[in-house]
């Protein structure tokens, strides 16, 4: 891996999900370690895309996961958005709190927010 990229996604709008997915896929293609941190409405959108239709904008983030990106949800958002833990664990790589998100993203220069 040649570097790290962090993508923060809090919106579930089609534009935000497509942009975040494209960014994550591009970074993976450039052989970068990619961590995508999901909060708010983005959590249920990306979880639902795990077994959903491929034309769903959130499916790009699931494709990025299959290509090597790590999808991580904020634990408070999982609870707030009423996503079951089983569904989150199946569709994501981790569910963590803000202290972990801050630690895992510390020092990363290439950060993008959608």
At 20, is the pLDDT very low, low, confident or very high (cuts 50, 70, 90)? very high
User: How many whole angstroms separate alpha carbon 110 and alpha carbon 81?
Assistant: 28
Residue-range definition of the domain harbouring residue 50: 4-113
Tally of structural domains, the chain: 1
User: How many whole angstroms separate alpha carbon 23 and alpha carbon 36?
Assistant: 10
At 2, is the pLDDT very low, low, confident or very high (cuts 50, 70, 90)? confident
Structure tokens, 1: 């891996």
pLDDT value at position 54? Answer: 72
Cβ-contact 112, 16 below 8 angstroms: no
Residues 5-30, mean pLDDT to the nearest whole number? 98
Share of the chain above pLDDT 70, in %: 98
User: Nearest 10 degrees: CA dihedral of 92, 94, 95, 99?
Assistant: -140
Q: What single DSSP character describes residue 93? A: S
Structure tokens, 100: 């972990």
What CATH number did the domain enclosing 24 receive?
3.40.1260.10
pLDDT value at position 52? Answer: 72
35-81: per-residue pLDDT in tens?
A: 999 999 999 999 999 987 678 999 999 999 999 999 999 999 999 99
């Amino acid at each position: 891996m040649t570097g790290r990229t962090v993508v923060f996604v809090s919106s579930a709008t089609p534009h935000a999900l497509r942009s975040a997915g494209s960014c994550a896929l591009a970074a993976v293609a450039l052989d970068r370690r990619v961590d995508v941190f999901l909060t708010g409405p983005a959590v249920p959108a990306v979880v639902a895309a795990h077994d959903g239709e491929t034309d769903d904008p959130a499916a790009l983030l699931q494709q990025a996961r299959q290509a090597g990106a790590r999808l991580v949800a904020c634990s408070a958002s999982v609870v707030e958005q009423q996503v079951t833990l089983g569904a989150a664990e199946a569709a994501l790589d981790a569910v963590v709190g803000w202290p972990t998100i801050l630690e895992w993203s510390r020092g990363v220069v290439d950060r993008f927010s959608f």
